[in-house]
Amino acid sequence: MSETRLEPGDRLPAGAHFGDSRRTRGRNAEPIGSRRGAAAAVLAACALVGACASAPERAGRPVGRASSTAAPAVTGVRIADLALELVGTPYRYGGEDPASGFDCSGLVYYTYRKNGVHVPRTSRQLFKAARKIALDDALRGDLVFFQDQAKLSHVGIYLGNGRFVHAPSSGSTVSVADVGVEYYQQHLVAVGRVLPN
């Protein structure tokens, strides 16, 4: 079988899936399963250990679909842009504002709320509320969900071109990651849209 190479901005080839370790990232890049890919996978695994899936739930917060009067595409772009502005903000378990820090679902909650969209607070609630879509159909501002072993463990905000913004774990900061990293490929369980149609 020939090796498939992806360039920045490319979509996954037909028939490829996230567990396909034959893919590479970028021109003349090492295969994702290489030492560099393995190092990235180890860092990603460390980042998600103890991630925010079990962030404290708040009583009285609605669990369900998002509500907004703004156009979804424009709102999604604004959400993604705001999330990018927050890169470098410290991680804090249960955090949902830039002054004190964010956990993964707190970052989603804050960026959506600032754009007039009311969403659930925890990653599990967001997962339940999201309409599941294919990664190829994902737009800026959609959500990517990850699980470790048997439980949902993480959520990020999709930026396009396989990249997403997230608040990984204690000791880290809000950052941009790529679903092409082997760890994320293996743990991506869904892409979802909570913005209304």
What CA–CA distance (Å, rounded) separates 5 from 2?
10
pLDDT at 71: 63
Domain ranges of the chain: 17-51+66-193
Q: What is the pLDDT of residues 165-191, one digit of tens each?
A: 999 999 999 999 999 999 999 999 999
pLDDT at 196: 81
- Residues with a known catalytic role: 104, 154, 166
DSSP class of 52:
G
Strands 24-25, 5-6: parallel, antiparallel or unpaired by DSSP?
Answer: parallel
Query: Is residue 51 scored above 80 in pLDDT?
Result: no
What CA–CA distance (Å, rounded) separates 185 from 177?
12
pLDDT at 34: 41
Count Cβ atoms below 10 Å from residue 67 Cβ, excluding itself. 13
Strand residues in the chain grouped as ranges (E): 5-6, 24-25, 96-97, 101-102, 131-133, 143-148, 151-160, 163-166, 175-178, 188-193
For domain 17-51+66-193, which CATH number applies: 3.90.1720.10, 3.40.50.450, 3.40.50.300, 1.20.1250.20? 3.90.1720.10
Q: What is the pLDDT of residues 75-89, one digit of tens each?
A: 999 999 999 999 999
What CA–CA distance (Å, rounded) separates 163 from 179?
6
pLDDT at 74: 85
Q: What is the pLDDT of residues 4-44, one digit of tens each?
A: 333 333 333 333 333 333 333 333 333 334 444 444 444 44
Which of 96, 112, 82, 83 is closest to 196 using CA atoms?
A: 112
Share of the chain above pLDDT 90, in %: 59
Give CA separation, 108 vs 1, 49, 77, 148, 164, in Å.
Answer: 40, 19, 13, 19, 11
